[in-house]
Amino acid sequence: MPMSALPKFESEAPAREIPSTAESAPVQEDAPTPAPAGALRAAFERLRAGYESERDPSRAVRIERLRRLEAMLEQMAPAMIAAISEDFGHRPEQVTQLADIVPVQLAARHARKHLAQWMKTRRVPTGLVHRPGHNRLMRQPLGVVGIVSPWNYPGMLALAPAVAALAAGNRVMIKPSEIGPRFSELLREQVATHFAPGEMAVVTGGADVGRAFVSLPFDHLLFTGSTAVGREVALAAAANLTPVTLELGGKSPAILAADCDLALAVPRILFGKLLNSGQTCIAPDYVLLPRNRRDAFVKAMRRAHAAQYPTVAANPDYTSIATERHYRRLLDMLDEARAAGAQVLPLHAEPPSDAARKLPLHLVLDAPATLRVMREEIFGPILPVVTYERVEQAIAHVNAGERPLALYWFGNDEAERERVLRGTLAGGVTVNDTLMHIGQEELPFGGVGASGMGAYHGEWGFRTFSKETGVYHQSPYSAVKLLYPPFGAAFDRLLGMMRSLG
């Protein structure tokens, strides 16, 4: 495939993209040196050779690899917390524990607990026409799985897919974002220490490595990033007929019903919005609520902001915006909204801190639909508020845009809840809270339409990285020979019987 046809890894989309060019972030002197194309291909071939040497690892081998990943994570946790915080400018230890370490630990434990059941070859029903033969379904490793992970949750979004891929018996190759160079290098070192080169590898680098990585002939490629870059990744993977799982983004709404308890809903919305300072793919991107509840909502948000974040710039619990480019992008959004006549309401008296790259939450009211805050995934502490008179208007507003990665509904009326959930289509839903569906290993996580394709977590991840092979076992007593030529009356009778029995 010509290099000109490979993804540029550049986008004017929100900074949730996997930025793989120097223009995407300030130059950092200690950024990892890009891997040459030859070294990248050699790393891939070592993984391919590892797969060929053991195409279907036993359950014991898979569990041992998962335990090694858990041990690696436990060992690297202090350095990981420090590295991620330094990459961001500042990020609370608690956020990294909550969002990057514990979810991977729980995913690995869940996989170990259920692995025997997931791996089991199972009998499936056989149509009467084809008996006394019988059907079985085998789950087999695909081979070498590629994972392209972003900077916003660099641990979880690199290692949770790796858990699923290892559980399914695959070899794994990870390309983390160079926006987080310290964590990326730490992950590369730790994986090289805990895993053989034929089991799992991490490659670091910028645009050239990103383009070369997604053009490798993986057996499956998982990409987490922006919709714009996801399209380019899918095109590059298509050259090798590599199946892809795309975890993208979009404008995820929080819909408040008329009977919504604001005292319950507002602190949960604020938490979901300001975790990681809104640099979360499933953060509530905007709020839809009844017009007559808007003023009460604004007051409740002010109280919740003061309770959760009494200060901002000097607050150790408040995460910095990861890059100067992204910080300026958010400020530009606010300036555009003010210039267009929208009400821009900072929820804290502190102004934005350029030095710390910290921005208090701003509500945006009465924003024209043409503004960037209404068109783009915000990916930061800005929350547009849109009002409606009837819930059908809220549903229509959601459906007028691209399908979101997440949807949140707050209320008590079950009939209205079902009307909203069945009238919209999103990657995943949490009812009466935000974010929590991503932590359910018993549920699939994935987007739809512009917010992605495919899913993982729990058994869905195992299945994503497996080939479910259908196997039909023919019986020695089968009458199939009656279908052989030369064709005659026996063929006609058997075909008629198949039609009637089928």
Q: Which tokens belong to 218?
A: 């993986």
Residue 23 near residue 37, CB atoms below 8 Å:
no
Residue 73 C-alpha from the chain's centroid: 20
User: What is the C-alpha to C-alpha distance for residues 426 and 173, in angstroms, rounded to an integer?
Assistant: 29
DSSP conformation class of 13? S
466, β-bridge pairs: 141
State the Cα–Cα distance between residues 325 and 306, nearest whole angstrom.
Answer: 28
The one catalytic residue in 17, 185, 232, 281 is: 281
What does 75-138 look like in DSSP terms, one character per residue? HHHHHHHHHHHHHHS---HHHHIIIIIHHHHHHHHHHHHHHHHHH--EEE---GGGTTSEEEEE
DSSP state for residue 15 in the 8-state scheme: T
- Residue 153 CA, chain-centre distance (Å), reads 10
Tell me the chain's radius of gyration from C-alpha atoms: 25
Burial 98-113 (b: 16+ CB within 10 A, else e): ebbbbbbbebbebbbe
Catalytic annotation, pick one of 17, 178, 199, 247? 247
**What torsion, rounded to 10 degrees, do the Cα atoms 392, 395, 397, 398 define?**
180
Strand order in the sheet with 382-388: 343-346, 362-365, 382-388, 286-290, 253-256, 406-410, 428-431
281 catalytic residue (yes or no):
yes
Residue 41: CB atoms within 10 Å: 13
DSSP 151: S
CB 80 within 8 A of CB 186: yes
DSSP state of 442: T
Active site residues: 247, 281
